[in-house]
Amino acid sequence: MQTTLRGVGVSHGVAIGEVRHMGTAVLEPPAKQIPAEEAEREQGRARQAVEAVAADLIARGNLAGGEAQHVLEAQAMMAQDPELMADVDRRIAVGSTAERGVYDAFASYRALLAGAGEYLAGRVADLDDVRNRIVARLLGVPMPGVPDSDEPYVLIARDLAPADTALLDPALVLGFVTEEGGPTSHSAILARALGVPAVVALPGAGELAEGTVVAVDGSTGEIFIEPSAEKRAEMEASAAARKAALSASTGPGATSDGHKVPLLANVGGPGDVPAAVEAGAEGVGLFRTEFLFLDDSKRAPSEEKQVAAYRAVLEAFPEGRVVVRVLDAGADKPLDFLTPADEPNPALGVRGLRSLLDHPDVLSTQLTALSKAAEGLPVHLEVMAPMVADRADAKAFADACRAAGLQAKFGAMVEIPSAALRARSVLKEVEFLSLGTNDLAQYTFAADRQVGAVSRLQDPWQPALLDLVAFSAEAARAEGKSCGVCGEAASDPLLACVLTGLGVTSLSMGAASIPYVRATLAKHTLAQCERAASAARAADSAEEARVAAQAVLSGE
């Protein structure tokens, strides 16, 4: 008998296949004491294992490229964290083996973060993966991971570490389902980049028996266990129809009655550009520049290095629009030379623009590099600041842009509710807004974007979040300026129609989502999108909002 489960759909598409489970975690090493004279040797073993794991993560990142490279480089930095290594050394000095010292030090850090409720608690899966890799190397055992299989399968896991997700083979892994995670977790973002159907935050997924046939709908979040022949046929027909619609949809983004909605790509570096160009992106709506700064957490990259990297992206979109976000450091992206090491809650501390204003030389160098990178190119360069809270923040950033001689539009990201509520005030200082819906949801609902237990509150369909989008778009329209969305909300085709109806003027997303959004927008008029937006805002929950919008757009 067919059973239906529901998680959170985070990557479009349908997958039907047998269940295969992720390898089990590394076993806890024994707690045996070593003689004092062996401590130095064990400390050396631990350091060698850490360096080897960090090097492996960087190599995997180089192989994967794009967004995955950025994520894995951040994980390598986690492996080499000096405070963690100091704790490992202390534990070994009082008698622990290298593997036990690593295991206990990571466990202590993990418990501290989870207990304090800090933003970095959202990286627990990443932290566990780093620990497992180091301990496995020290024990001389294989690292648990993606199962070996000659036949395609649906992967089931408690959570997927970035190192596993980044190198999944879409020819074998038809789709994946995780018990934890959320719509903006690393696993979800990388799944979309790979084009692999995925469902996260499904409690009990690990209880599915090996070999069970499941059908995964990455759009709705539904999992059908032992689907009937009729259900399989229905899902396969739906997937085929969707593929045909994607192939038929080309050109700029627009509603069926010709209302233009530029569809832009989110990129994490030059490695993401080919996929964006192939998907028909009309430009870049979010160029994350952190990848340049993660190579060395001790110092900022030179102006010359920045110029070369920025120009590589700008050249790919001649006469297109490229929106660059200046360095967003802090919280889950700490940099030794920029961010405080002892903040009790980094997510609510000195991050984003706040860090840059405390280090004006870093901001000035980046703005100057962007200016030089754009020289002689017909590209429409726009530069925006992350974590803008109010008009004073917006003015400080605009003043820095002018001081650097930047010939570009400068704008503000709306990630803090205060910026949405006072958007007209912010727009007195800048020329455009860009909504980062991932962080905006996190701060609106006090719900960490990486914690599966609060994924309900991270759902971009939450009416309160839609209200904030509407406030921002209305303010931009009143000021005669633009307001785009560059958060993951834009990658949901149905929600893209609602955002358009709310007055958003452009949508930016992972390249793999652009064809889906283009095809869906092309089926509806602007008036339909506006009615769907009104229906969604009138709802009392994310699910009700989704259903209400779907009813309007389907003509029910």
Cβ proximity of 395 and 429 under 8 Å? yes
Q: What distance lies between CA 367 and its chain's CA centroid?
A: 24
Structure tokens at 340: 């405080």
Parallel, antiparallel or unpaired: strands 14-21 and 153-157: parallel
Q: What distance lies between CA 130 and its chain's CA centroid?
A: 19
Parallel, antiparallel or unpaired: strands 222-225 and 3-6: antiparallel
Neighbours of 480 (CB within 10 A): 7
Please tell me what DSSP assigns to residue 117: T
Torsion sign over Cα 223, 143, 183, 523: negative
Exposed e or buried b per residue across 25-37, where buried means at least 16 C-beta atoms within 10 angstroms of its C-beta: ebeebeeeebeee
Residue 10's φ and ψ, nearest 5 degrees, are -125, -5
CA distance 508 to 554: 24
In Å, what is the CA distance from 395 to each residue of 331, 385, 391, 392, 433?
23, 11, 6, 5, 14
Q: Distance between the two ends of the chain, CA-based, in angstroms?
A: 30
* Active-site annotation holder among 70, 401, 483, 486: 486
Parallel, antiparallel or unpaired: strands 198-200 and 8-11: antiparallel
Structure tokens at 419: 């910026």
Structure tokens at 160: 């997927």
Residue 486 annotated in active site? yes
* Active-site annotation holder among 70, 186, 359, 524: 186
Cβ proximity of 227 and 213 under 8 Å? yes
The residues annotated with a catalytic role in the active site are: 186, 486
